[in-house]
Amino acid sequence: MPRLLTTVTLSIVLPLLTLLGAQARPCIVTDAEWNLLAFGFDGKDYNAGSQDTWASDATPTEITADSRPPFNSPVTTCYLSEFANSIYVLNGDSSSPSTVHIYNVPSKAWTSHPVALGDYQASSPNTAVILDRDTDVFYSLSAGQMYAVNMTAVTEAPNGEPSPGEDKEWKLVGQSPFEGYDRPTMALAQNHIHFIGVPGLQDGDADVFVIHFSYFQPETQKYGDFPSTHGQTASMFLATGPVQEEFAFIPDDGSNTYIINVVSNTTQTIPGPSTKDANATYFGLPTALIQLASDGAVSFLAYNGEDASKNAAASWEGVKVLPAVEDVVNGGSSSGNGDGNGNPGNTGNGNGNGGGDSNAQGGGEEGSALSLSARVGMVVGVLGLVVGLVGV
Ligand SMILES: *[C@@H]1O[C@H](CO)[C@@H](O)[C@H](O)[C@H]1NC(C)=O
Ligand SMILES: *[C@@H]1O[C@H](CO)[C@@H](O)[C@H](O)[C@H]1NC(C)=O
Ligand SMILES: *[C@@H]1O[C@H](CO)[C@@H](O)[C@H](O)[C@H]1NC(C)=O
């Protein structure tokens, strides 16, 4: 009975929060030693430790610290600066899209850095960004233009305070040669930015921008077999030091995960995430790919970079060590876990962290199609059920 009540309570609270427009967008990343860091989980931040504990019910270490950003934008993103062992956060504060927030892992301290935007559309959902892991230069394709901002001086300065005069700005690097590529899908490997789903590309092809020469390579590159479509990506970090050679690509339908190796020019097809969510975000470390669904649920797929035969049969597991996050932007808009009995999930139960049922697939897509009035009806209906239960 308590379990039923918990489930029922969650199914009330989450749709209510969605209806009320709760505002937070967590992000997940690891530090340079591959400990999972989770920011913006109902106003708190956590270090969830190493991969061997993620599926356990260990207690994460809270790392919520002064001067953190509020993580209240629908487009918050986090990046690992590998050599600085720092986390760079873009759009951590919806009231200040021009601020880059940096969390230094060893000192557990935040600094914030104004970066002039010019005409760069920092908080457009169609702006794609990578952080070059060793130079700490951000590159971003936005509205058909490539922009960059060099954060080296900030990373290297004592206390993150560069000398006066080192003003930061998103500088125009060049116009993208792609026509009609309004929602870029961008991935980093081998100091090259790869563009998936550019109009006119065949399946398995990517276009390339060479970071160190600031140059759109005119030739298309063949990488094996994956659909040429929109999706999410994660650069697969290698053990600290060497440049990434692979990236993960998860198309919007979540049907498969593709691991693209830009040295061998081949693609592994491995299981798609249990939660199909076009708005999920991903982080890749040497031994896992992590998904943060838009309802705040976190799961991961163990990855073997040495032996591809292990990956095809790998399965996604819920990260149980983190608390469920309830207060999310777009919460439950598309994921929706079913109840395992063939009944569709309503609006996403948001408890992939703790419920142990994150593999159960429901008709989550129905959630996004529900009208507001249907949602209100549902909430009222569930409330009625609870009142009924409590009355028993
Ligand atoms: C970034 O700035 C640093 C100095 O702060 C400079 O040494 C480096 O060459 C710059 N990198 C790029 C790609 O502009
Ligand atoms: C991958 O493609 C590039 C560019 O076409 C080529 O230079 C490289 O030799 C290829 N790698 C392999 C392992 O064939
Ligand atoms: C994804 O996020 C965008 C921007 O916040 C939103 O407009 C869209 O409805 C979301 N889509 C889904 C499927 O949740």
Confidence label for 160 from pLDDT (cuts 50, 70 and 90): low
Is 145 domain-assigned?
Answer: yes
Percent of the chain with pLDDT over 90: 69
Q: Of 328, 362, 357, which Cα lies nearest the Cα of 346?
A: 362
- Tell me the C-alpha distance between 24 and 41, whole Å: 8
Nearest listed ligand to the Cα of residue 266: 2
Ligand 3 test: best mutation among 183, 275, 330, most atoms within 8 Å of CB?
Answer: 330
What three-state secondary structure class fits 135?
Answer: coil
The verdict on the CB of residue 361 being under 6 Å from ligand 1 is no
Closest CA to 331 of 348, 315, 344: 348
Residue 179: pLDDT band with limits 50, 70, 90 = very high
Residue 121 inside a domain? The answer is yes
Give the dihedral of Cα atoms 382, 26, 123, 372; nearest 10 deg.
Answer: 0
Q: How far, in Å, CA of 376 to CA of 386, rounded?
A: 15
Please name which ligand lies nearest the alpha carbon of 261.
2
> Which residue, chain included where needed, has tokens 């809270």?
62
Q: How confident is the model over 82-109, as a mean pLDDT?
A: 95
Protein residue with least CA distance to atom 1, ligand 3: 279
Question: Which range, of 188-192, 196-200, 318-322, 349-353, averages the lowest pLDDT?
Answer: 349-353
Q: How far apart, in Å, are the Cα atoms of 370 and each of 275, 373, 376, 381?
A: 18, 8, 10, 15
- Render pLDDT for 335-387 as a digit per residue (tens, 0 to 9): 333 333 333 333 333 222 223 333 333 333 333 333 333 434 444 444 444 44
Task: Give the number of whichever ligand sits closest to the CA of residue 214.
Answer: 1
> What was the pLDDT predicted at 240?
72
Ligand 3 center to 23 CA (angstroms):
14
What's the pLDDT tens digit per position in 277-306? 999 999 999 999 999 999 999 999 999 999
Q: With respect to residue 283, please indicate whether it lies within any of the assigned structural domains.
A: yes
The tens digit of pLDDT for each residue in 226-244 reads 999 999 999 999 987 889 9
Range of the domain at 108: 23-325
Cα 134 from chain centroid (whole Å): 20
pLDDT (average), residues 112-133: 94
**Tokens encoding 308:** 């591809």
Judge if the beta carbon of residue 137 lies within 6 A of ligand 1. Answer: yes
Of 6-10, 32-36, 239-243, 374-378, where does the model show the most confidence?
32-36
Of 132, 26, 107, whose CA–CA distance to 73 is shortest? 26
In a domain, 190, yes or no: yes
Least confident span in 42-56, 177-191, 345-359: 345-359
Residue 105 to residue 63: CA distance in whole angstroms: 10
**Residue 363 maps to a domain:** no
Place of tokens 């300065």: 157
Q: Which residue has the higher pLDDT, 217 or 325?
A: 217
Q: Does ligand 3 have an atom closer than 6 angstroms to the CB of 334?
A: yes
Mean pLDDT of the chain: 82
pLDDT score for 19:
41
Q: Cα–Cα distance between 126 and 128 in angstroms, integer?
A: 6
Is 278 near ligand 3, meaning CB less than 6 Å away?
A: yes
pLDDT at 56: 96
Report the number of distinct structural domains present in the chain.
1
Give the least confident one: 164-168, 211-215, 272-276, 358-362: 358-362
Ligand 3 near 127 CB (within 6 A):
no
Percent of the chain, pLDDT > 70?
76
Cα 119 from chain centre: 25
Establish if 229 belongs to a structural domain.
Answer: yes
Identify the pLDDT of residue 239. Answer: 84
What's the 199 CA to ligand 3 centre distance in angstroms?
Answer: 22
pLDDT given for residue 164 in this prediction: 66
Residue 368 covered by a domain: no
Q: How confident is the model at residue 327 (pLDDT cuts 50, 70, 90)?
A: confident
Task: Tell whether ligand 3 has an atom less than 6 A from the beta carbon of residue 243.
Answer: no
Give the pLDDT of residue 279. Answer: 93
Q: Is residue 361 part of a domain?
A: no
For residue 262, report the distance from its CA to the centre of ligand 2, in Å. Answer: 8
CB of 265 closer than 6 angstroms to any ligand 2 atom:
yes
Residue type present at position 184: P
264 lines ligand 2 (CB under 6 A): yes
3-class secondary structure per residue, 323-392: CCCCCCCCCCCCCCECCCCCCCCCCCCCCCCCCCCCCCECCCHHHHHCCHHHHHHHHHHHHHHHHHHHHC
pLDDT digits (tens, 9 = 90+) for 102-122: 999 999 999 999 999 999 999
**40: CA distance to ligand 1 center in Å?**
31
Report the atom number in ligand 1 closest to the C-alpha of 153: 5
Dist CA 105 CA 30 (whole Å):
10
**CA nearest 320: which of 348, 357, 369, 288?**
357
Write the residue with the smallest CA distance to atom 10 of ligand 3.
Answer: 279
Tell me whether strands 298-302 and 288-292 are parallel, antiparallel or unpaired. antiparallel
> Residue 317: which CATH number?
2.120.10.80
What pLDDT is attached to residue 1?
A: 41
Atom of ligand 1 nearest to the CA of 211: 13
| Per-residue pLDDT, 328 | 80
- Ligand whose nearest atom lies closest to the CA of 220: 2
pLDDT at 373: 39
For the CA of 265, the nearest ligand: 2
* pLDDT at position 215: 93
CA of 1 to the centre of ligand 3 (A): 35
Other CB atoms closer than 10 Å to residue 293's CB: what's the count? 31
The protein residue with its alpha carbon nearest to ligand 3, atom 5, reads: 74
Helices (H), ranges, 29-151:
none
What mean pLDDT do residues 163-172 have? 81
